[in-house]
Chains A and B, each alone.
Chain A
Amino acid sequence: MTGWAGIDPAAWAGSANAIMTGLLRNSVQALAEEASKTIPNGGRVPVKTGDLARSVVVSLTPPTVKDGPFTGDITTGIAGIQPGDTIYLGWQARYSARQNFGFVGEDSLGRTYAQSGFGFAEAAAAKWDSIVMAEAARLGGR
């Protein structure tokens, strides 16, 4: 019996690791939700069929471009991530780049116009710091 009544360092380290993992996963999930939030719902992703928003994917490998329809499942990719991993979050829809960066297109009246990019990737990325701070504050008491 040593008489030590303080924190068990091993238990503390284990708990800290679990909190870090939780912080990372919660933050990535919040970022993915932000990245898939459509304009009518207060986000930046344009919506016609909803496929672009549903094409958001989180993975440990770079996302590939695909044809829809997409399921919108982001949880599968988040479940396996660990602190220190390189995580990729992207839009798989084939037309996502032109929607994000802009393009020259024709409108319903046949006029050619400069469709400005929606910049949903940049807008979501800009929120990363505040997302992590909010999630850290939420986990802070544990």
Chain B
Amino acid sequence: MPTIETTDYLALKSRIDTLATDPAMTVYEPDDIITPPSDAIGPLPFILLSDVTNDPNRGGRIDPSLHVRSGTLMLSLQWPIARAISHVQLKEIAGQIAAHFPADERMRYGASRLRVTQDAGILPSYVDGAYRVTVVRALWSSM
């Protein structure tokens, strides 16, 4: 029987697994050992996941044993600098990812029932090594 922390992540993962972007991109989970994807032209874009969880909050007034769990799912779009892209195009791709996590989107796995607390947002891009990075953040909490 997996723990609630595991099923929380798997609930998020179940939503990530249905993400379709144009162009299609491989999604890497935290600490995956990877070979950055490439084609004949050069490196390909991909997405890195970061799973940030907050301390559980003991918020139940009727049932004091109730805890609210919450966190931030970060989807870091890594776009190779060598592959030309305009600001608008990058914004659109990040927007597609963000749109996959609208406010009140429900996710479940095992005992976990999660919801997105507000529309996912996009942070300004920055350059890190050979990639232009755009981070999409989806805030979630248990229901």
A interface with B by C-beta (< 8 Å) = 44, 97-98, 101-104, 111-119, 122-123, 126-127, 130
Contacts and interface: CB of A to CB of B under 8 A. Distances in A.
B34 A114 contact: yes
A101 B74 contact: yes
A111 B35 CA distance: 9
Contacts of B33: 111-114
Question: SS class of chain A's interface: helix, strand, loop or mixed?
Answer: mixed
Contacts of B74: 101-102, 117, 119, 122
Contacts of A44: 52
Contact of A114 (B30, B123, B131): B30
Interface of B: 28-36, 48-52, 54-55, 57, 70-72, 74, 76, 78, 123, 126, 128-129, 131, 133, 135, 137
Given A102-B76, A122-B137, A113 B48 contact: no
A115 B137 CA distance: 17
A133 B131 CA distance: 41
B48 to A, nearest CB: 5
A79 B63 CA distance: 42
